Amino acid sequence: MTKYALFAPPNFIDALLLRVFAPETVNYVVWPFIQIGAVVTAVAVWALYASYLERKISAFMQARLGPMRVGKWGLLQPIADAVKLLTKEDMLPDKADPYIFRYAPYISVAATFITFAVVPFAPDWGVITDVNIGLLFILSVSSVGVLALILARWSSNSKYALLGGLRSSAQMVSYELAMGLSLIGPLMLARTLSMSGIVAAQAADGPLFYIFYQPLAFLLFLVAGIAENNRAPFDLPEAESELVAGFHTEYSGMRWSLFFMAEYAAMVVVSAVATVVFLGGWYFPGVRWLAGGFNNLYVLLSLLVFIVKMAVLLYVYFWLRWTFPRYRYDQLMDIGWKWLIPASLLNIVWTGIAVFTVQALDGWSGFQTIESFRRGVDLTWQGKAIMVAFGGVGVLLAGAMLATINRGSRDFNLKKQRRQVRLVAPPKGAPAVAATAAATATE
């Protein structure tokens, strides 16, 4: 808190709170509550307006206009939807387990909202809590969301829900592996699991984010994250054309919208993790200079940077959803086990080799690659060039390896599938009448 002429309100509130409470209470109870309230409100509003964005973007991609009637450009449409959902009847299917059926949506929402506790939205007061196992915490808590889906499908006592839930649990188990493994590469560079620590490591390393050192890991994480969120093209658990609505077939009204909210909040979680780990979180070169010493302005600008980076990733979600058709189930399992997991394992080995090379070259005949290890690996420009080259080669290497592993696979090779399809129609040239005439002649 160097200067606080500009954006005084947080400091003013702080001073007010300190009159009433002890400093420990203010720092560890009151401020966290304010932050939690702000984050929960922001995410809830996002979940509301994500449906609007989804409808608008899908409409634009299909050369339509989308919702236009409620409010200007249909901006009040989500509110109308929310009112509709709130006033809808809360249905409980016959023979459903009433307690589990009612509590499954809450587990789903809680599991996704808890993960926001460790996400660093901005420096200083933009962090709710900085746990030193932050990334691990996010991965473990977000996988509790699978439990909610399993409970929902089992308790609703419906065949479509059951199938959808089976698919989602299988899918989440397979993709969580690839997701966790793909994060190990950046962690080897950051040398910490703390979310703020990862951002600090990237800030200390200079203008390059980890996406340049780890493009392969970024791609893997993005694909695995989309699959983890059950979004198209991996939306097998709620494939409309096959399973009605998957695990939430039997849900209606507010409970259904809780699942909906959890899905969009989970999207934010995954893109927040991707932003922190690969895109440098709230860090952007020049922001501190732009803030000019005003701490609160610096925090707000960093928050803006974080939101912009996340918005790009969230747009990618919509973009992919309205471009690609859904995968077949066997293709989905193949992508998980035969493509993503080998590639992420390769990424770990390759990052290890890269880090080792950079360390080995450091100090070799006056060549310097590493400046310090103080907060993650801080590289000189030679070191950066080596790491970027390793990253680019890693992508090609992974592609070559996957092509080798899956050369016999027919799942994505349409040409190969077609080559082995047998014709059903009878061969031409020999009409049935001629055959009978020949048969009578022999007799």
Partner 1 sequence: MPLVNVPEPTWREKLKRFFMVDLIEGLKLTLKFNVGALTDKDSVKGYGIYTEQYPSVRPQVAPRFHGAPRLNMDPETHESLCIACNLCALACPEDCIDVIPMDIEIMVAGKPRKKKVLDEFIFDTSRCMFCALCQEACPTACLELTQEFELATYSRAGFVWNREMLEQGRESRKFEA
Contacts to partner 1 by CB under 8 A:
57, 59-65, 319-320, 322-324, 399, 403, 415, 418-424, 427
CA distance 269 to 274: 9
Reduced to 3 states (helix: H, G, I; strand: E, B; else coil), residue 367 is strand
Q: How far is the CB of 68 from partner 1 (least distance, A)?
A: 8
CA distance 341 to 337: 6
| 324 versus 367: smaller Cβ distance to partner 1 | 324
Q: How far is the CB of 50 from partner 1 (least distance, A)?
A: 16
Q: How far is the CB of 438 from partner 1 (least distance, A)?
A: 21
| 86 versus 403: smaller Cβ distance to partner 1 | 403
The answer to whether 253 and 89 have CB atoms below 8 angstroms apart is yes
Reduced to 3 states (helix: H, G, I; strand: E, B; else coil), residue 264 is helix
The answer to whether 55 and 317 have CB atoms below 8 angstroms apart is no
| 60 versus 381: smaller Cβ distance to partner 1 | 60
| 399 versus 431: smaller Cβ distance to partner 1 | 399
* Cα 88 to the center of its chain, rounded Å: 31
Q: How far is the CB of 323 from partner 1 (least distance, A)?
A: 5
Q: How far is the CB of 65 from partner 1 (least distance, A)?
A: 6
Reduced to 3 states (helix: H, G, I; strand: E, B; else coil), residue 331 is helix
| 58 versus 382: smaller Cβ distance to partner 1 | 58
370 forms beta bridges with 379
CA distance 273 to 152: 26
| 98 versus 399: smaller Cβ distance to partner 1 | 399
Q: How far is the CB of 222 from partner 1 (least distance, A)?
A: 13
Report the chain's terminal Cα–Cα distance, integer Å.
Answer: 108
Q: Strand (E) positions, 87-170?
A: none
| Number of Cα atoms under 13 Å in the Cβ half of residue 193 | 11
